[in-house]
């Protein structure tokens, strides 16, 4: 009997590769008929990159990603609040990567097909429900011809994202995701990379901010790279918004005027926005922490377990780490309820804390402190917030999110083969 995975996103595909590494039979059921490289940029923190390296994906990651060199917060006046080296430049043993989400998903998918064979991923297969028994679990899927199909396995892994069907059966009555006010518009534009050439830069204040970073290396002929950007505004929640769809295309007219005068000699925000061919709107939603991710032989991983505000580059990174921690539990206890319990015990409380931390703006919360102390207007940031205070703040965040450098560099591999 196999492991059944519902959802072929980053969590589901990493889970499949991990099971294969552990010689555990696995089949992924993905609801869409054809996987396509959807989304725009994401960041993979070194803790997640480490896990992908353990799956022998060094070379393919280097092909699609840009090694992030710097993470910088810049005030609305264009002055630096904070800048720190990232990845190898900071002393991590593994890089941080900025990548296109869809390209990463396709890379993982192709690798699953190459290593496990075509039959390991069934597309057009949507999980409807499950029935957990003492020694197996029955999962029910709807295939593309509308037929209900029953699949029996050892465990069911719900890796079916923000609108998880597995989660809604496990926690009936939970309702839709929670929107706290911020809305993000995302796009990519060909432009010359700024600062180090591989910097993640956030400009502005908590309620209005602009983020950009390259997700391709520059074309040697033109010097242009694909720059991922995100414009964010915070609204009064009484206005209401959608319940979270990553793929809604909108016109830049919806938000451009709010950023019209955001031009600096080193960054032209309106030009970057205008240069994008497609722009996607996403109301920043999350879900409240849960008391459990396990129900009999069924378990949640990735966004299905702990979708959170995308403020600390945790979504994809955490999805990868979840799959590996669950893999480690399978390796230790075999595929069964004991392993599911160990995974839940290892991860749940920390992720619940991280959901709440990200609601409080995660690492970007520093901008809130600056706002409070000087309304964001400063010449010398040291007079507003001393360096050691930011360092402590950042370390706390990295520790909570599992990528504090010393602990990560000294930690044994998650799966000890
Ligand atoms: C289309 C899309 C675009 C995205 N774009 C961005 C982005 O630009 N920036 C960003 O930060 N994050 C983006 N995300 C979210 C990001 O990918 C996740 O936060 C993170 O990677 C965690 O991954 P996951 O595998 O847990 O969830 P997801 O990446 O959401 O993957 C879940 C998968 O499950 C499938 N699925 C859903 N319901 C079922 C079901 N009932 N049965 C079987 N399969 C099902 C979905 O089709 C999807 O492939 C996007 C997600 C999606 C789905």
CATH number at residue 307: 3.50.50.60
Q: Residue 106: inside a domain, yes or no? A: yes
Closest Cα partner for 66 from 194, 189, 213?
A: 213
Q: Residue 156: inside a domain, yes or no? A: yes
From 12, 107, 160, 283, give the residue whose CB has the most ligand 1 atoms within 8 Å, as the site to mutate. 160
Phi, psi of 179 (to 5 degrees): -105, 125
User: Is 46 touching ligand 1 by the criterion CB < 6 Å?
Assistant: no
Domain count, the chain: 1
Farthest CA pair distance, the chain? 66
User: Is 331 touching ligand 1 by the criterion CB < 6 Å?
Assistant: no
Q: Residue 45: inside a domain, yes or no? A: no
Phi, psi of 151 (to 5 degrees): -130, 130
User: Three-class SS string for 137-163?
Assistant: EEEEEEECCCCEEEEEECEEEECCCCC
Spatial contact of 368 and 390, defined as CB atoms under 8 Å apart: no
Q: Residue 338: inside a domain, yes or no? A: yes
Q: Residue 113: inside a domain, yes or no? A: yes
Q: What is the pLDDT of residue 242?
A: 66
- Report how far residue 244's alpha carbon sits from residue 161's, in angstroms, rounded to the nearest whole number: 11
Q: What is the pLDDT of residue 337?
A: 98
Sites in the chain below the pLDDT cut of 70 = 242-243
User: Is 186 touching ligand 1 by the criterion CB < 6 Å?
Assistant: yes
Q: Residue 380: inside a domain, yes or no? A: no
Q: What is the pLDDT of residue 243?
A: 67
Q: What is the pLDDT of residue 222?
A: 97
Q: What is the pLDDT of residue 365?
A: 87
Q: Whose CA is nearest to atom 29 of ligand 1?
A: 9
Q: How far apart, in Å, are the Cα atoms of 73 and each of 2, 173, 175, 201, 382?
A: 46, 39, 35, 6, 14
Give 230 Cα–ligand 1 centroid separation in angstroms.
Answer: 18
Q: Can you tell me which atom of ligand 1 is nearest the CA of 313?
A: 11
User: Three-class SS string for 175-244?
Assistant: CCCEEEEEEEEEEEEEECCCCCCCEEEEEEECCEEEEEEECCCCCCCCCCEEEEEEEEEECCHHHCCCCC
Give 308 Cα–ligand 1 centroid separation in angstroms.
Answer: 13
User: Is 159 touching ligand 1 by the criterion CB < 6 Å?
Assistant: yes
Q: Residue 60: inside a domain, yes or no? A: no
Residue with tokens 């597995």: 166
Give 162 Cα–ligand 1 centroid separation in angstroms.
Answer: 7
Q: What is the pLDDT of residue 173?
A: 92
pTM: 0.96
- Which domain covers residue 316, as residue numbers? 3-38+100-176+288-361
Mind listing the pLDDT tens digit for each residue in 156-194? 999 999 999 999 999 999 999 999 899 999 999 999 999
Closest Cα partner for 182 from 244, 245, 239, 235?
A: 235
Q: Residue 126: inside a domain, yes or no? A: yes
């Amino acid at each position: 009997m196999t492991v059944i995975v519902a959802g072929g996103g980053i969590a589901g595909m990493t889970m499949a590769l991990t099971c294969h590494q552990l010689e555990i039979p696995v089949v992924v059921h993905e609801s869409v008929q054809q996987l396509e490289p959807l989304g725009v940029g994401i960041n993979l923190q070194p803790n997640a990159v480490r896990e992908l390296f353990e799956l022998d994906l060094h070379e393919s990651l280097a092909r699609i990603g840009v090694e992030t060199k710097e993470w910088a917060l810049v005030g609305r006046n264009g002055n630096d609040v904070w800048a720190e080296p990232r990845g190898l430049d900071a002393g991590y043993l593994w890089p941080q990567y900025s990548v296109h989400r869809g390209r990463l998903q396709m890379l993982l998918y192709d690798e699953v097909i190459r290593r496990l064979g075509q039959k390991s991923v069934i597309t057009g297969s949507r999980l409807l429900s499950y029935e957990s028994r003492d020694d197996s679990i029955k999962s029910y899927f709807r295939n593309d011809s509308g037929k209900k199909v029953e699949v029996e396995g050892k465990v069911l892994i719900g890796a079916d994202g923000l609108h998880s069907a597995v989660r809604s059966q496990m926690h009936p009555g939970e309702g839709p995701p929670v929107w706290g006010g911020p809305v993000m518009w995302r796009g990519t534009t060909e432009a010359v990379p700024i600062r180090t050439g591989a910097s993640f830069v956030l400009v502005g204040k908590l309620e209005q901010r602009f983020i950009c970073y390259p997700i391709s290396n520059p074309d040697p002929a033109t010097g242009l790279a694909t720059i991922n950007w995100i414009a964010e505004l915070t609204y009064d929640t009484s206005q209401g918004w959608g319940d979270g769809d990553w793929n809604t295309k909108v016109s830049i007219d919806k938000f451009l005027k709010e950023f019209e005068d955001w031009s600096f000699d080193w960054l032209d925000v309106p030009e970057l926005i205008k240069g994008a061919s497609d722009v996607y709107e996403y109301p920043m939603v999350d879900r409240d922490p849960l008391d459990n991710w396990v129900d009999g032989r069924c378990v949640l991983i990735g966004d299905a377990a702990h979708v959170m505000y995308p403020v600390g580059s945790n979504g994809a990174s955490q999805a990868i780490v979840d799959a590996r921690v669950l893999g480690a539990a399978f390796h230790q206890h075999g595929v069964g309820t004991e392993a599911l319990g160990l995974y839940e015990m290892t991860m749940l409380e920390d992720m619940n804390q991280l959901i709440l931390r990200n609601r409080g703006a995660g690492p970007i919360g520093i901008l809130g402190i600056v706002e409070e102390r000087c309304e964001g207007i400063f010449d010398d940031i040291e007079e507003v917030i001393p360096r050691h205070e930011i360092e402590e703040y950042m370390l706390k965040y990295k520790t909570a999110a599992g990528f504090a450098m010393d602990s990560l560099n000294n930690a044994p591999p998650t799966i000890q083969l």
